[in-house]
Amino acid sequence: MPFTALLGAAIHDGTVLQKGKTLLCENNQIVGIKDRKSLPAGCKIEHLDGGYLTPGFVDLQVNGGGGVMFNDDQTLQTLEVISQAHCRLGTYTFLPTLITDTQARSQAAIDAVAMAIEKGVPGIAGIHLEGPHLSIARKGVHEPSLIRSMSDTDLNMIADATQRLPNVMLTVAPESVTIPQTQTLAQAGVIVSLGHTNADYDTCMAYMAAGARNTTHLFNAMSQLGSRNPGLVGATLDSGDVSASLIADAVHVHPASMRAALRAKKGSSKIYLVSDAMAAAGSDLSQFILNGRTVFRRTGTLRLLDGTLAGADIDMPRSIETLVRQVGIDAAQAISMATSIPANMLTLKGGYGLRKAASKENLLYMDREFNLKDLG
């Protein structure tokens, strides 16, 4: 019997959440979202106990997983391990992320991602270079000795990467990158993101006007919203053209701050989730090394010995749960923040969502508690 209909779960099609519908599949392909009364004769019905059917999650900041860090080894083999780890966690589209490092390692990372895409490693949609052109004042866990201003060689390397990769995201600080450089990168197709900066509101707005269209992990490692200086937080919320990633582990950002940002953000559907995942994701590691420093995994956090946060220890289903249970938004918005909103930041071959002719392998099922379940 070629036709199967999944019934009983709300369906997020990659744009909106639909209730009271069925997801019709033929063999291993999605036919579409249908009313039950319009199903073909003889269609097999699979009943689900509530929950949510969604496309695979999209994560634009993945530093590692499966016990390995991209910073440690910029090779095809490392990317395969990271891909496998995040696929098990429901992330089917992601940007491998290189944290501040040398120019040679940045180039090696670009080369490795290009090879992974050529070889068809699942999920890899491009690269995110988070640094090294940041502000030492807001370095976070980034190694300060590697932070530097952007040179012409750096700029050309990153611009050239857009000719080899479908998506290139670059996190920069105005302290280390000029407005003309920002304009050149944006015109080349780079997704320029502001982050790890102490720049004031007016400076951030000027860089947004020059082509920066994203903010990296809102609230963290940036100038804060103050009464007299709104900082990058204020500029992000005040700009309808700029998107922002958010780490929703209730450690990096308090639920009340997340709630306020979601209400205040100008421009609809502009804040999305990232995991900021490290080597610990999808593994039982209790500690790992980053730039020669030990990162400890304790009580749902990743920290250096001095307490500095070093990425996050959360996956997309738990991030969605945090948004629903602690922040108080509805499941439709929370799921969009892990799927369609970040997907809209990218150029994706073949599109995104539970569209007609999409493979059933791109489908996820979460139960009512946002736990991933096997559809069988």
The pTM (predicted TM-score) of the whole model is 0.96
Which residues lie below 8 Å from residue 39, measured CB to CB, with a gap of 6+?
A: 3, 5, 22, 24, 45
Beta carbons of 220 and 192 less than 8 angstroms apart? no
* Residues β-bridged to residue 47: 7
**Cα–Cα distance, 323 to 329 (Å, whole number):** 6
Q: What is the reported pLDDT for 361? A: 85
Task: Let me know if 276 is a catalytic residue.
Answer: yes
Question: Sign of the CA dihedral 180, 184, 187, 191?
Answer: negative
* Residues β-bridged to residue 17: 12
Q: 2-18: buried (b, 16+ CB within 10 Å) or exposed (e) per residue?
A: ebbbbbebbbbbbbebb
Q: Where are the alpha helices (DSSP H) in the chain?
A: 76-88, 103-119, 152-161, 179-188, 201-209, 231-238, 255-264, 316-322, 331-336, 340-343
* Residues β-bridged to residue 194: 172, 215
pLDDT in tens, 109-138: 999 999 999 999 999 999 999 999 999 999
Domain spanning 3-54+354-373: which CATH class is it, in words?
Answer: mainly beta
Q: What is the reported pLDDT for 82? A: 98
Q: What is the reported pLDDT for 376? A: 67
Q: Which of 249, 276, 313, 315 is catalytic?
A: 276
| Coil/strand/helix, residue 25 | strand
Q: What is the reported pLDDT for 106? A: 98
Phi, psi of 205 (to 5 degrees): -65, -35
The domains spanning 3-54+354-373 and 56-343 adopt the same CATH topology: no
Q: Which CATH number fits domain 56-343: 1.10.10.10, 3.30.9.10, 3.20.20.140, 3.30.565.10?
A: 3.20.20.140
Q: What is the reported pLDDT for 355? A: 78
Domain boundaries in the chain? 3-54+354-373, 56-343
**Residue type, position 8, single letter:** G
Geometric angle at alpha carbon 215, from 12 and 312, rounded to 5°? 70
Residue ranges of the chain with per-residue pLDDT less than 70: 1, 268, 356-357, 376
